[in-house]
Amino acid sequence: MIFPLPLKRSGSSHDISKELLKIYVHLLEVYGPQHWWPGESRLEVIIGAILTQNTVWTNVEKVIANLKREKLLSLRALNEARERPLAMLLRSSGYFNQKAKKIKSFVSHVYLHYNGSLKTMSQVETHAMRKDLLSIYGIGPETADSILLYAFEKPIFVVDAYTKRVFSRHGFFEENRSYHDVQTFFMRHLPNDVGLFNEFHALIVRTGKYFCRRTPLCEKCPLNDHLNQLVNKTKVYIE
């Protein structure tokens, strides 16, 4: 079932909140809890967040296994590891030279500013931590927010390519909106709740896999029923 693009819609702030929560509940009913982030420790979540940049998770899993096998999944070991050999272990996740540099940058930062302790780092207030993360080489908005939400359990909504794709195709906003705009949109219309932000983002990624770059919609997406009701509306939500 393919709909013409762009979809456009209108509604009050209250309507939007209701609709977003309806979509959340629907996805949760269909897919169930996603148990994110997959990782046994705070550090593993953070490394995973860097490794999964523009990369499928199955490729990241191979690298995580490599790092565990080599006993490199600790701040101390990563801090002592040389970049070249580290990069070789990262091969299957792609961009391995860049990602080795990114991981080294993050670990150095934690040593330099938090005495090598993620627990110390976790005491930092959310917005200050976000700013701090963004100052590290290789950590952009999505990676910073993934780390904030999934490693440090700070209440922040993670936006990714799927978030923009799924919700723009459902008429909430245009796909080319900035990261900041989309994040503000969700955080303005959702309760400020770590558990909700955690599960919602994971569910969006789950269903987002059904939306490829070029095909407007896929019939496998459980949100298609919602879309049927949305065609022919005339105004976008973000102005």
Partner DNA sequence: GACCAGGCACATC
Partner DNA sequence: GATGTGCATGGT
**Contact call for residue 35 and DNA (CB under 7 A):** no
Which one of 4, 14, 35, 176 is in contact with DNA (CB under 7 A)? 176
* Vertex 66 angle, CA 96 and 64, to 5°: 75
Which tokens go with 238? Answer: 């973000």
Return the closest-CA partner of residue 162 out of 151, 154, 153, 170. Answer: 170
- Cβ proximity to DNA, 137 vs 193, nearer residue: 137
User: Quick check: 186 and 224 in contact, CB under 8 A?
Assistant: no
Number of residues that bind DNA (CB under 7 A): 44
Which one of 31, 96, 111, 114 is in contact with DNA (CB under 7 A)? 96
**Contact call for residue 54 and DNA (CB under 7 A):** yes
Site for DNA in 177-216 (CB under 7 A): 178, 205, 208-209, 212-214
- Cβ proximity to DNA, 8 vs 62, nearer residue: 62
Which one of 47, 49, 81, 86 is in contact with DNA (CB under 7 A)? 49
Site for DNA in 61-80 (CB under 7 A): 62
Burial 163-195 (b: 16+ CB within 10 A, else e): bbbbbbbbbbbeeebebeebbebbeebbeeeee
Q: How far apart are CA 198 and CA 17, in angstroms?
A: 17
**Contact call for residue 162 and DNA (CB under 7 A):** yes
Name the segment binding DNA (CB under 7 A); options: 17-25, 64-72, 133-141, 225-233: 133-141
Return the closest-CA partner of residue 45 out of 156, 150, 174. Answer: 150
Return the closest-CA partner of residue 142 out of 124, 127, 157, 123. Answer: 157
Which one of 16, 139, 148, 182 is in contact with DNA (CB under 7 A)? 139
**Contact call for residue 168 and DNA (CB under 7 A):** no
Q: How far apart are CA 128 and CA 236, in angstroms?
A: 32
Q: Contact positions toward DNA, by CB under 7 A?
A: 36-38, 48-49, 52-59, 62, 91-92, 94-99, 136-144, 146, 150, 160-162, 176, 178, 205, 208-209, 212-214
